[in-house]
Each structure stands twice: as structure tokens, then as C-alpha cells.
């Protein structure tokens, strides 16, 4: 059965209907039940690829380079103070095991910094 369907009512209006499987059916479908997975298994692939590790190292190096650049700015600069807070937050998020929300926050911080 498809997870959704479209049907028309008596007035010709098309309606979208989401069809959810019942829990018994999910338990019978071995290998398709995400409810039995741990939080880590849901978030990350089993083996972190060499590419992903290299990307993380590159990001960490870019953050450290940006910290060195910001440290050359005047210490009373509001831009420098804010930028250092964001960079320190990035380093903190990179050093811990993150939740999905923290992963999203990390990506948003990187995108906003343009480094």
C-alpha cells in the first residue's frame, strides 16, 4: 500500500490522504522498524567515511584559522566579540557527540560564517 493517496470527493475536490501502517504490521516487517534503533543508529551511518572525517578536520582547521584572524582585530570590537562567541560555539559543537538539533545548529553556524 502506498503511504499516501489522492482521491476526489463528490464535489470534484481532490483530497490528500496519508496512510500510516499499524504498529503490528511494522513489527512484522523485520528490518524496517526504526522504533527499535538507538538514537545513534538513527542519526549516523555505521561507519563514518574517510571523506566525512577529512571534512571535519578541514572545518576544524578553518575555524582555528578564523580564530587567529579575529584575534588580530581590536579586542573592544563588537564584531570581534560576537564572532569569537560563534567560533567558540562551533568548536564546542564539533567536540561533543551531537543530537540532530545540534547538527543542524552546527551547519547553520558554518553557513552563516562563510568560512
Can you give the residue ranges of every domain in the chain?
4-113
Specify the 3-state DSSP secondary structure of 75.
coil
* DSSP code at position 70: H
Looking at 10-77, list the stretches that DSSP marks H as alpha helix, in order from N- to C-terminal side.
23-28, 39-43, 50-71
* DSSP code at position 105: H
* DSSP code at position 35: G
CB 87 within 8 A of CB 109: no
Of residues 2 and 80, more confidence is placed in 80
Average of per-residue pLDDT across 10-17: 61
Specify the 3-state DSSP secondary structure of 37.
coil
pLDDT digits 0-9 by tens, 62-107: 899 999 999 999 989 999 999 999 899 888 888 888 888 888 888 8
pLDDT digits 0-9 by tens, 24-73: 554 444 444 444 445 554 455 545 555 566 777 888 898 999 999 999 99
Chain-centroid distance of CA 88 in Å reads: 19
* Whether pTM exceeds 0.85: no
Amino acid at each position: 500500500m502506498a503511504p499516501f493517496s489522492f482521491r476526489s470527493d463528490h464535489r470534484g475536490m481532490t483530497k490528500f490522504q496519508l496512510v500510516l501502517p499499524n504498529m503490528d504490521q511494522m513489527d512484522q516487517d523485520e528490518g524496517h522498524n526504526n522504533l527499535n534503533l538507538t538514537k545513534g543508529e538513527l542519526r549516523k551511518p555505521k561507519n563514518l567515511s574517510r571523506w566525512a572525517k577529512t571534512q571535519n578536520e578541514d572545518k576544524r582547521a578553518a575555524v582555528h584559522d578564523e580564530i587567529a584572524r579575529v584575534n588580530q582585530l581590536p579586542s573592544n570590537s563588537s564584531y570581534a566579540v560576537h564572532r569569537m562567541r560563534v567560533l567558540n560555539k562551533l568548536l564546542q559543537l564539533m567536540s561533543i557527540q551531537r543530537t540532530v538539533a545540534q547538527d543542524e545548529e552546527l551547519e547553520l553556524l558554518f553557513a552563516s560564517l562563510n568560512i
